[in-house]
Chains A and B, each alone.
Chain A
Amino acid sequence: MAFSSLYEEKCAFTRDYTLIKNELQNIEDYDKTCIETALHGVNQMVLGEWGNNTACQVILITDGSTGLGPMSLKESFATVNQRSATNPFPIPFSFPAKLHVVCVAPPNDPNLVKSKPLYQRLVDLTGYDGSICIPESPLNETTVVNMFQKLAEDMYTSFKGTLKCGNLESKIILSPAPVPYTKVTDFDYQSYTISELIEVCGFISVTDVGSPMAVSRHLVLPASSNKDHLPLTAEIDLTDDDATDEGKVPSFCVLLHGALKVENMAAVVTLAENWFGFVYSWADSKKKSNLMLTILTPGSDVVPWLGDLNNLGPSDSPTEQMGSFPVRPQEKRSYSQNGVVWIRQAGLQSDIQKILRHARKLPEKTQQFYKELNRLRKAAISLGFLDLLNGLAYIFEQECMQLPGSAHPDCALQLQHAAEVLRKTQNRDIKYVVVPLQTNYNSS
């Protein structure tokens, strides 16, 4: 992307080297340095292509100037705390990103010396450990090439670690390399860095895992193990094989993948102190199956339905010690509580109608009639909705008068009884429960 007071996407994300090279030769000079504009552009471009979850590297190549006057970096910072929701400062980016500011300027350039603290502030704002790169003195092609070389080496180091399950283990590479994660809660923030040792601590069926939120996902690729051991094995066993062919050296990763796939299970792994993930078999649309690591948000309580991940134990524990998946919260949510909400009239209306439906089917529905009646009565008392109690009593009385001749005699008696109870002010206590009137028809 090239930028001045506007920005221009020179070429889309690609691995086509010549395409990039050609585009780079077509960059023209425009008006001025507006770094904020460029950063807005970066945000837009990355979100559009990769979403807000893919870790990216942003390399800002500059001559060491931060611009002048309006839209200069200095101006941007001056207004950073007065931004509205419609014009936010582009940093921190909407996705995990390291910002590297590469200054193609002599290290002692006075302009650069002035700009450096501003660049540093920019890098700090991203929340990730980016960098400011300055070539060694003197400024020439070699020193600039060296600077980029070094940056590339720093940025593209792959993650090498070990996947371990008891005594079984395999050297692995994670692709893409995971980045440290900063977890922010209401009262704390903490940065976590993934350990080189990823340790399996048990297995859970994929169905039980659900689809928890992932910080990121990574392919787990088995890496070639220490070659020192190969000659020994070759001598013994694989005399007629090419022992150096890594494809034929058994790898725990491949075994794990196969078994997880067959069993439809996921392995719970620890990534660092109090940081967990799942390893499972994953196939893209092209039917190529792979071992995948899903990294959860740090912490042991990040998947509510699995409970505290530190408290997961073997399924042959004593029965009284074991719970089961999914772990349920102690309290039910409002939508499974059959609570009363009468903010919209329809809610109240359907509650009353329900009672009347039961009323017409008395005495068979006596239990249901009084259950609903008590529910409504209790809510009305809590909400101080006394009009409703009187209104309902009135409705019952009217209902009574309109009963068809074929109606059961108990019907009238119960409705009359209910109406009386509703009108009695001394009964306006939620602990009071309206009970059916004992009649000749239901006393048995």
Chain B
Amino acid sequence: MSFSVTNKLFPSNHKTVFVLDHTPYFGISCESPIELEFLKARAPGFIPMTPICKSLWTSSVESAIEYCRIVWDLFPQGKLVRFIASDTVAHILNTWSPSQQNLSHIMNAMSLIGVPPPHAINRNLEYTVLHGLRAAIEALSDCTEIQGKKMKSQSFGDVQTKLVNRCRVICITSARDNDSMKRLEEIFLSVLQQQNKVATGSDRLLTIDHCHLVIINTFPVNIESQVNNHSPKNLSPILTTEVHSIKAPLISNKLSTLILEHYNLGSTTVTGIPMKEEQNASSSANYDVEIYHSSDAHTAILKGNALDSSAIRTVKDGLEYETVTLKWCTPRGCTGSELQNCTAMHRITPVDVNSRPSLCLINFLLNGRSVMLEMPRKAGGKITSHLLASHGGEIFIHTLCTARSVLEDPPSISEGCGGRVTDYRITDFGVLIKQNTLVPIKTAFVEEGNRPMQKMKTRLNRHTKYWPLTISSTLIFNLKGYIDPLPSIITKEKITEDEVFQCRRIIYNLIALESKNESLYPLNTGQRVKGQKREDQYKAMWNELETLLKKNLHTADHRNIYNCLLECHKFNFDEEKLSEKVELDEALRELDHIGPSKSEPDAPRASVIRATTDSPMSPPPLTSINPPTTKSSTSRSTGIYSAPRTLLDMFTSQEKVKSRPEFTGRSTGGSVAKLYANHKYADSGSRGESMEVE
């Protein structure tokens, strides 16, 4: 694999340990009084209060916590941070366990530690940050959950990449001078080497392949530090160190710069956010809000046009990093209702989380609205480059495609295959879509071997056993008034007794309808089915219904419904069954011969369709065939037997068939012919094959 990939693997930011100096020195004040504006305007009787100052400890704790806030907002998983406070011993505030990787855990632990102890509680004990650094190194050789998993899969033979244990220690302390700082680094290295020796002999511990030690040397504002900064230098192949000497109130600014490097983040300043004034709700002013996110969100715009990108990059006062300024674009309509062409997506967090402008932007987004961000172009005009939106309480920056699209001037779908067909069953497919709308299934109910997604495929398979694409290729699906809800019941995995009963009722109703010789088609729907005689309608209807039911024999209950159909309506395809029934049929045969011929469609109660050997290709049955007619009202009321056919009927019809194309069953030389093969293609339109998979 290319070096770019292996370089990205196993980043140092997977494991970070903050070592906070908790020695008595850190209890002293920063000497940077906090000005409370609202106290200045007090009446003359007001006695000035002693100024409020943060201690070195408070400054370092709040800055370190702010660092974590940003990390955990942007990377809910996989970026772990631990805290160790150091005085006479190391106080470990949390572990690598994900349950302890959150702000409230750290804040609680901090309150238990309390402020640094005052001087000279016990003169025999040594107050030093080294206890913490030692503990940090031990923590770094502990396996995290993800590292453990990776190790396990490696020992199972997955040796694609060997686990590399890279990590980082950020130590906030105060050193006297450069020499003591240098000693600190050297001690750290020797402890690190020691720990690696221990780890080599242990199967529980990991050797530390590389550690990045960042030392923040801090002091009150009224003191000049004797410690110089030094940029990253490799003290050994396994240790890189850097030192930043900084006044306590500025630790946070320094960490902001460092966090961008450590996690490869970028800063965006959303400018021109219209916001109501706190005091005067009728006027609104424009505000800026700075956010952090992965720097990848900027790749597209910064790597493109150099002129455009230099115009939007600025360095803010007092900070060392660049921010990209993009303009708030008042949302028009609902941008969430269409899929944007989004090439990257990253979580964001506001830099100043509690400021009014930040809260205003955050709440706007959390309430479900989204904001487009615009980038001005040197060549004139501007381009929408990003989208800010919240999903499930998390806010993301979506990078939109600003470049030329390769899909310029695409043909419309109506110009391609199937594009000129106008009678797709779009509404019916819409119903299928609604029936198969997805929802998240709670993990507790997920079977490992058969995930819901797998079940969905099976389910879609079941729902489409018989599904004609166009209106003109189906009859039954156009007869919703008569056959609903049978199609939706029959495609269920399991059906209840009630539903079986419902389906039977539907079949009986159709029989009754047929007996009344009512047209199935009340409206002229522009069908092209040949011979719109009623008997043909019914014949096609029965055949199609049979196909539908036959393809959906999922359980005994489904079979029950299918059998009901077979019992109610005689299909000629099952000769064996038919001959068994001959005796019964004979009893009814005479009834069949009574009544007017079915060729007279207007005759009352005349044309009951029989199932014949005629395929749908055949012309309408000839009048010369002894037409089976209505039966006595008694047999009708039982609803079980409709127009049974006799053997004679069959023979006669077969005689007539001779002049037509030979049946498939015969022409293929006695092998089993597929029933209603042609019917299927005819009814499902020209794409029959793709529609019906056995």
For A253, give its contact among B52, B417, B433, B528 (CB under 8 Å). B417
- A387/B686 contact (C-beta < 8 A), A263-B434, A312-B441 known: no
B420–A391 CB distance below 8 A: no
| Assembled-state Cα–Cα distance A387/B563 (Å) | 86
Residues of B within 8 A of A81 (CB): 3
| Assembled-state Cα–Cα distance A328/B392 (Å) | 5
Nearest A residue (CB) for B467 = A168
Nearest Cβ on chain B to A388's Cβ, whole angstroms: 6
A262–B460 CB distance below 8 A: no
For B5, give its contact among A184, A268, A385 (CB under 8 Å). A184
| Assembled-state Cα–Cα distance A336/B76 (Å) | 14
A236–B617 CB distance below 8 A: yes
A342–B4 CB distance below 8 A: no
Binds A, one of B194-202, B336-344, B603-611: B336-344
Nearest Cβ on chain A to B470's Cβ, whole angstroms: 5
- A322/B407 contact (C-beta < 8 A), A201-B457, A341-B69, A347-B354 known: no
Residues of A within 8 A of B586 (CB): none
| Assembled-state Cα–Cα distance A358/B345 (Å) | 41
B336–A288 CB distance below 8 A: no
A206 within 8 A of B: yes
- A246/B342 contact (C-beta < 8 A), A211-B398, A339-B69 known: no
Q: Chain A contact residues (Cβ within 8 angstroms of B): what range?
A: 35 or more
Q: Given contacts A249-B686, A336-B362, could you give 16 more A-B pairs where the C-beta distance is less than 8 Å?
A: A50-B406, A166-B457, A166-B460, A167-B467, A175-B410, A209-B339, A250-B421, A250-B470, A250-B687, A252-B469, A253-B416, A262-B427, A304-B391, A311-B451, A335-B350, A395-B49
| Assembled-state Cα–Cα distance A54/B341 (Å) | 12
**Which parts of A200-226 form the interface with B (CB within 8 Å)?**
200-207, 209-214, 217, 219, 221-226
A112 within 8 A of B: no
Residues of B within 8 A of A382 (CB): 61, 107-108, 110-111
| Assembled-state Cα–Cα distance A249/B76 (Å) | 50
A-B contact list, 21 entries, CB within 8 Å: A81-B3, A175-B410, A184-B8, A186-B11, A187-B163, A199-B457, A209-B339, A213-B344, A214-B343, A233-B685, A250-B686, A253-B417, A255-B425, A259-B424, A289-B413, A310-B452, A336-B366, A339-B353, A383-B58, A383-B65, A388-B52
B394–A383 CB distance below 8 A: no
For A341, give its contact among B353, B398, B445 (CB under 8 Å). B353
Residues of A within 8 A of B443 (CB): 308, 311
- A202/B460 contact (C-beta < 8 A), A53-B403, A395-B39, A395-B49 known: yes
Residues of A within 8 A of B2 (CB): 92, 124-127
Residues of A within 8 A of B50 (CB): 391, 394
**Which parts of B32-56 form the interface with A (CB within 8 Å)?**
34-39, 42-43, 45-47, 49-50, 52-55
For A391, give its contact among B52, B55, B355, B528 (CB under 8 Å). B52
Nearest Cβ on chain B to A414's Cβ, whole angstroms: 20
B102–A331 CB distance below 8 A: yes
| Assembled-state Cα–Cα distance A401/B49 (Å) | 14
A232 within 8 A of B: yes
Residues of B within 8 A of A378 (CB): 107, 111
B412–A289 CB distance below 8 A: yes
A313–B452 CB distance below 8 A: yes
| Assembled-state Cα–Cα distance A102/B434 (Å) | 53
B424–A310 CB distance below 8 A: no
- Chain A: interface secondary structure? mixed
A69 within 8 A of B: no
- A52/B445 contact (C-beta < 8 A), A236-B682, A268-B438 known: no
Nearest A residue (CB) for B26 = A384
For A225, give its contact among B387, B446, B687 (CB under 8 Å). B687
A167–B461 CB distance below 8 A: yes
Residues of B within 8 A of A170 (CB): 418, 690
| Assembled-state Cα–Cα distance A329/B50 (Å) | 44
For A384, give its contact among B49, B63, B110, B344 (CB under 8 Å). B110
Residues of B within 8 A of A356 (CB): 38
| Assembled-state Cα–Cα distance A415/B616 (Å) | 94
Nearest B residue (CB) for A353 = B38
B103–A328 CB distance below 8 A: no
A27 within 8 A of B: no
| Assembled-state Cα–Cα distance A308/B439 (Å) | 11
| Assembled-state Cα–Cα distance A388/B411 (Å) | 68
Nearest Cβ on chain B to A418's Cβ, whole angstroms: 16
For B440, give its contact among A288, A289, A325 (CB under 8 Å). A325
B424–A249 CB distance below 8 A: no
B453 within 8 A of A: yes
A443 within 8 A of B: no
Nearest B residue (CB) for A380 = B58
- A251/B392 contact (C-beta < 8 A), A233-B686, A312-B439 known: no
A343–B63 CB distance below 8 A: yes
Residues of B within 8 A of A137 (CB): none
Residues of A within 8 A of B424 (CB): 250, 254-255, 258-259
Nearest A residue (CB) for B347 = A333
> What 0/1 pattern do residues 109 to 123 of A give for CB contact below 8 A with B?
000000000000000
Binds A, one of B237-245, B298-306, B587-595: B298-306
| Assembled-state Cα–Cα distance A288/B103 (Å) | 50
Binds B, one of A2-10, A58-66, A277-285: A277-285
B692 within 8 A of A: yes
B391–A206 CB distance below 8 A: no
Binds B, one of A16-24, A140-148, A153-161, A237-245: A237-245
A321–B441 CB distance below 8 A: yes
Residues of A within 8 A of B299 (CB): 52, 94
A333–B393 CB distance below 8 A: yes
A47 within 8 A of B: yes
> What 0/1 pattern do residues 640 to 674 of B give for CB contact below 8 A with A?
00000000000000000000000000000000000
A28 within 8 A of B: no
| Assembled-state Cα–Cα distance A313/B103 (Å) | 34
B179 within 8 A of A: no
A315 within 8 A of B: yes
Q: Chain B contact residues (Cβ within 8 angstroms of A): what range?
A: 35 or more
Nearest B residue (CB) for A216 = B343
A257 within 8 A of B: yes
Residues of A within 8 A of B366 (CB): 335-336
Nearest Cβ on chain A to B122's Cβ, whole angstroms: 20
Nearest Cβ on chain A to B50's Cβ, whole angstroms: 7
A84 within 8 A of B: no
Nearest Cβ on chain A to B551's Cβ, whole angstroms: 9
| Assembled-state Cα–Cα distance A256/B413 (Å) | 11
A324–B150 CB distance below 8 A: no
For A186, give its contact among B78, B340, B469 (CB under 8 Å). B78
Among A165, A268, A280, the most chain B Cβ lie within 10 Å of the Cβ of: A165
| Assembled-state Cα–Cα distance A182/B8 (Å) | 13
Residues of A within 8 A of B454 (CB): 310
| Assembled-state Cα–Cα distance A5/B62 (Å) | 53
Residues of B within 8 A of A345 (CB): 34-35
Nearest A residue (CB) for B352 = A344
A290 within 8 A of B: yes
B411–A288 CB distance below 8 A: yes
B465 within 8 A of A: yes
Residues of A within 8 A of B462 (CB): 166
A11 within 8 A of B: no
Nearest B residue (CB) for A176 = B406
| Assembled-state Cα–Cα distance A344/B460 (Å) | 57
A229–B689 CB distance below 8 A: yes
B442 within 8 A of A: yes
Residues of A within 8 A of B34 (CB): 345, 348-349
A337 within 8 A of B: yes
A249–B343 CB distance below 8 A: no
B393–A336 CB distance below 8 A: yes
| Assembled-state Cα–Cα distance A306/B686 (Å) | 38
Nearest B residue (CB) for A401 = B45
B115 within 8 A of A: yes
**Which parts of A284-339 form the interface with B (CB within 8 Å)?**
284, 286, 288-292, 294, 304-317, 320-329, 331-337, 339
A149 within 8 A of B: no
